[in-house]
Structure 1
Amino acid sequence: MSIPIYYKSYSAPDVNKKELQRFALCSAEMDAESEKLIDSCISELLQELCYKVCYAYFPIALDKDELDLGFARVKSSSLAKNLTGCSHIVLFAATVGAGADRLISKYSRIQPARSHIMQALGAERVESLCDVFCDEIGAQADKRGYCVRPRFSPGYGDLSLGLQRQIFATLDVTRKLGIALNESLLMFPTKSVTAIIGLKKI
């Protein structure tokens, strides 16, 4: 049976400066120079990003720590705990594109502090994209009498990073979003995420 794969693009979410500071390991109280650097990085990087997601719905079945996710069978007590009581999942991949990687690389030797902020801002951007998408899925689920579980990615807990291969094949991630997966199962652009959202009947 063919599973529909959906694609969405989003406008830029508002920058969460507190999250940006957390990713950058900055103190809560910043001096004017640090504030100026962050604002400058935001202004430059936001012009280089896109916000794209592809996703699909699957019915699932759990037997203790063994899970049939509809697109793959896995063994993971961590994911099983997260999905307890769920009947379906949303499998998704998200990216903000390669712009962050280009600027991180550009500034890594000539302006390390700027490169560091770009790294943190790229992380905040893709997390904000995931938050927007998950909130949207949650609102749709609520209308159908479901609640959503926190998103769960390969590499969390005891869920094998090897699941990335099945996710990429199932969602056709490289063609749809332009994300490559290397032999070490790392993604490029690096500011990309794959994850599972559990749907539980209320």
Structure 2
Amino acid sequence: MPVYNAPLLAIDAKETRRYAGLQKAATFDEEKILAACEDARLLAAPKGIWTVYDYDCQSQQIQAAHPCKIKGKKIAQHLNGCEKVIILAATVGEAIEAAVTRRFNEGEYSNAVIMDAAATAAVEQLADGMEKAIAPQMAAQGYLMKWRFSPGYGDWPLEQQPDLVRLAQANKINIHLSTSLMLIPRKSITAIIGLYRKQEGAIPNNKHGGCAHCQQKDCPSRKINSPQNRS
């Protein structure tokens, strides 16, 4: 149950623009995006936590003290061939959300939207950083990692969010669930990463393909730049 506390040195302005739905707004003031990224960075309290479990592909079961059966065909296909899984949770805290709410209440709507997008980019960067930190540890044990998959992707139901919160021990970094299964703080994520044995000559299957495997084709945050993500 390692805890990850690396700081955010910068928030990706390009990703912030995408999450704000401004990919095609070429004339939008870039300085506003950069300012929102810096404001969000200064408010962020990044924390992550992760735990490794054995996994049975045939039964789609995470073999924890209280076993958890993974539901959904897409996630089952994604984890096919995996012997273990990592369950992780990450958050950038509540201060960013409070600042976004304050800006909305004060009528600064565009600034609030951009800062909210910067916070989303920040938590994704945090999870990316966790993956990079975990990968060498898993490689030393003979495992390669598949890209992370979260409840709500593809046909993996959001109703399994409580299982991931429990398995990641997300409460230890103050992540909880609302009655509607939304993560609190809102700028938090949970995810599963499959671990499979490295085989001679095998091509690693660890490139992130979340948008390509998600059924929400009209999502404004959908990545459309790479051929595998176009639809």
CA displacement, residues 41-79 of structure 1 (integer Å, 9 cap, x when unaligned): 22322221111111110010012xx41112311332111
Question: Is 2:141 the partner of 1:141?
Answer: no
Q: Which residue of 2 aligns with 1:201?
A: 197
The 5 Å alignment of 1:76-87 reads: 76-87=72-83
Task: Say which is worse superposed, 89-98 or 9-18, in terms of deviation.
Answer: 9-18
CA displacement, residues 11-68 of structure 1 (integer Å, 9 cap, x when unaligned): 114322211111112246744x7122122222322221111111110010012xx411
Question: Is 2:109 the partner of 1:116?
Answer: no
Q: What stretches of structure 2 of length at least 5 have no aligned partner? A: 199-231
Q: Which residue of 2 aligns with 1:188?
A: 184
For the 8 Å contact 1:147–1:199, the answer to whether it is kept is: yes
TM-align CA RMSD = 1.7
The 5 Å alignment of 1:18-57 reads: 18-27=14-23, 30-31=26-27, 34-57=29-52
% same residue: 27
Q: Which residue of 2 aligns with 1:165?
A: 162
Structure 2 CA distance for aligned equivalents of residues 120 and 60 of structure 1? 34
For the 8 Å contact 1:94–1:130, the answer to whether it is kept is: yes
Tell me the SS of whatever aligns to 1:36. helix
Q: TM-score, normalised by structure 1?
A: 0.89
Q: Which residue of 2 aligns with 1:92?
A: 88
Cα displacement (A) at 1:170: 3.0
Q: What stretches of structure 1 of length at least 5 have no aligned partner? A: none
Q: Tell me: CA distance 1:75–1:42, structure 2 relative to 1, closer, same or farther (3 Å).
A: closer
Moved beyond 3 Å, runs of 4+: 27-31
The 5 Å alignment of 1:59-74 reads: 59-63=54-58, 66-71=59-64, 72-74=68-70
* Alignment equivalent of 1:155, drawn from 152, 155, 169: 152
Q: TM-score, normalised by structure 2?
A: 0.78
For the 8 Å contact 1:51–1:129, the answer to whether it is kept is: yes
Structure 2 CA distance for aligned equivalents of residues 196 and 142 of structure 1? 17
Q: Which residue of 1 aligns with 2:174?
A: 178
Q: Tell me: CA distance 1:167–1:117, structure 2 relative to 1, closer, same or farther (3 Å).
A: same
CA displacement, residues 155-193 of structure 1 (integer Å, 9 cap, x when unaligned): 22222212221222333322x111220111001111100
Structure 1 CA distance for aligned equivalents of residues 49 and 169 of structure 2? 9
For the 8 Å contact 1:55–1:90, the answer to whether it is kept is: yes
Tell me the SS of whatever aligns to 2:16. helix
* Alignment equivalent of 2:125, drawn from 125, 128, 153: 128
CA displacement, residues 137-171 of structure 1 (integer Å, 9 cap, x when unaligned): 22222233221111011122222212221222333
Larger strand share, 1 or 2: 1
Q: Which residue of 1 aligns with 2:101?
A: 105
